[in-house]
């Protein structure tokens, strides 16, 4: 463990953690707009700036990118920190004066309006890059990117046209701190053709990337599951069972553990590609595998690695 001090409080942190992560683990608040546990730290918003003292030198650093080290001294609210954070929030408020997250955070530092020397815009994107990096690093679709530079910089689809690589997962909207990315689902989409109106069916729309995706419908319930384009990509790259693509999660048959055969060896747990299996203690104090259906993707890898054939999948009628 690494020993450091934050705001006079001595804490321990895991090697490799950032100052922001260490602070949050110990209930110390540091504001941030671009930090996301699912992504590598980027330090774009600069709201999480702190004062770092190492030896006799002090510097202002973004806490999400600065690694902990032995003996580090950190201040999250020194005069220099507040001054720097206030300036950042003035700039963000000038760019996005109508974004609630920015306005609320700025108000905590007494910033209710941009400085007079700043030109006020009416944007809703703070250019944090979370959507771009989620699409690239996590989803690996690379459907969107930054374009332009300076005041003309923006997040967009290629050439502002339809993002043909977008699978419609909605990860970009999930990580967006301002809520400007909108994902809509239409239950009965239609298209006007010369011969008349043609029914398309349920459709997912992401206006930001000019993307309309037809939704696959569950063969049992008729409810939409996910975009057909997304499921086709998964089908081509992941060893999942047919029911994953044809049946809604609430109607799927998941692997079940026969506890009379299971010995709790953990082979299934080690091989599960999505971490859907845990070991648990029964009332008799015996260790048995437990499959979490909320995490299970139905790949049936566990059935192949179970040395006792204790995991089986009920057949779908």
Write out pLDDT tens, residues 297-309: 888 889 999 999 9
Model confidence band, residue 87 (pLDDT cutoffs 50, 70, 90): very high
Write out pLDDT tens, residues 69-83: 999 999 999 999 999
Q: 136-159 burial, b if ≥16 CB within 10 A, otherwise e?
A: beebebebbeeeeeeeeeebbbee
Task: Give the DSSP letter of residue 158.
Answer: G
More confident residue, 49 or 57: 49
pTM exceeds 0.75, yes or no: yes
Quote the pLDDT of residue 315: 67
Q: Which domains does the chain have, with CATH numbers?
A: 1-122 (3.10.20.740), 130-228 (3.30.70), 253-312 (3.30.70.20)
What lies within 8 Å, CB to CB, of 312 at 6+ separation is 255, 256, 258, 303
pLDDT surpasses 80 at 293: yes
Write out pLDDT tens, residues 141-155: 999 999 999 888 999
Write out pLDDT tens, residues 213-232: 999 999 988 889 999 999 99
- Average pLDDT over the chain reads 91
Tell me the C-alpha distance between 271 and 277, whole Å.
9
Model confidence band, residue 195 (pLDDT cutoffs 50, 70, 90): confident
């Amino acid at each position: 463990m690494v020993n450091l001090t934050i705001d006079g409080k001595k804490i321990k942190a895991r090697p490799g953690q950032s100052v922001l992560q260490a602070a949050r683990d110990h209930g110390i608040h540091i504001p941030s707009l671009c930090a996301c546990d699912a992504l590598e730290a980027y330090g774009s918003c600069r709201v999480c700036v702190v004062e770092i003292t190492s030896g006799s030198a002090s510097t202002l650093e973004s806490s999400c990118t600065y690694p902990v080290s032995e003996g580090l001294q950190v201040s999250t609210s020194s005069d220099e920190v507040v001054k720097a954070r206030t300036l950042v929030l003035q700039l963000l408020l000038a760019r996005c004066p109508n974004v609630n997250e920015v306005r609320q955070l700025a108000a905590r530092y007494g910033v209710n309006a941009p400085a007079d020397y700043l030109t006020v815009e009416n944007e809703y994107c703070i250019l944090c890059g979370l959507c771009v990096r989620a699409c690239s690093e996590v989803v690996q679709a690379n459907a969107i990117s930054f374009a332009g530079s300076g005041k003309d910089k923006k997040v967009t689809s290629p050439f502002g046209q339809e993002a043909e690589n977008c699978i419609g997962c909605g990860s970009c909207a999930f990580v967006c701190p301002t809520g400007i990315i909108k994902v809509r689902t239409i239950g009965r989409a239609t298209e006007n053709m010369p011969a008349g109106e043609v029914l398309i069916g349920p459709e997912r729309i992401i206006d930001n990337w000019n993307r309309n995706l037809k939704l696959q419908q569950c063969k049992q319930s008729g409810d939409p599951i996910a975009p057909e384009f997304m499921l086709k990509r998964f089908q081509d790259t992941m060893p999942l069972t047919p029911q994953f693509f044809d049946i809604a999660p609430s109607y799927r048959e998941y692997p079940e553990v026969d506890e009379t055969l299971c010995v709790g060896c953990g082979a299934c747990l080690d091989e599960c590609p999505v971490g859907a299996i845990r070991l648990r203690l029964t009332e008799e104090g015996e260790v048995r595998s437990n499959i979490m259906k909320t995490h299970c993707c139905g790949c049936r890898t566990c059935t192949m690695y179970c040395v006792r054939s204790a995991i089986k999948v009920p057949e779908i009628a």
